[in-house]
Amino acid sequence: MNSDLSTYHRLQNDLREIIENAPKGTKLPSEPQLAADLGVSRATLREVMRTFESQGFLRRRQGLGTFVVKPTHIFETGLEALESIETLAKKIGLDVTMGALDITRSSADEIHAEKLQIEVGRTYL
């Protein structure tokens, strides 16, 4: 099991590097070819590709292939190091800003008061 986990993580890193170095729209090699090139089973490759696809970095098109579809910057962080989006973006050279937040007071009408189980007409933040 430990070797399976390390194979999976190694494959994630290898595929991440391929995605980061490929221009948007690049077609990846076929699954059998990519699995052979990376020295892994097709099942393991599919699982890792599914992860990158769900994150929006890859798009698989039936009969056409798999393509890089998103900017190639990937945030890497784990639970061991909690960092803000601004800190992560700065590490990879992206400029991000926060939008304005507008807070208003409102009174609970009958519908909202019932759903929230609060007093009708009371003002909440």
Q: Higher confidence at residue 89 or residue 78?
A: 89
Spatial separation of the C-alpha atoms in residues 80 and 34, rounded to whole Å: 31
Does the domain spanning 2-68 belong to CATH 3.40.50.1970? Answer: no
Q: What is the pTM of this model?
A: 0.53
Residue 90 reports pLDDT greater than 90: no
Give the Cα-Cα-Cα angle 97, 73, 35 (nearest 5 degrees): 155
pLDDT for 28 equals 95
**73-78-83-87 Cα dihedral, nearest 10 degrees:** -20
Helix (H, G, I), strand (E, B), or coil: what is residue 12? helix
How does residue 120 score in pLDDT terms, banded at 50, 70 and 90? confident
Domain boundaries for CATH 1.10.10.10 within the chain: 2-68
For 59-77, how does the pLDDT look when each residue is reduced to its tens digit (9 = 90+)? 999 889 999 986 545 556 6
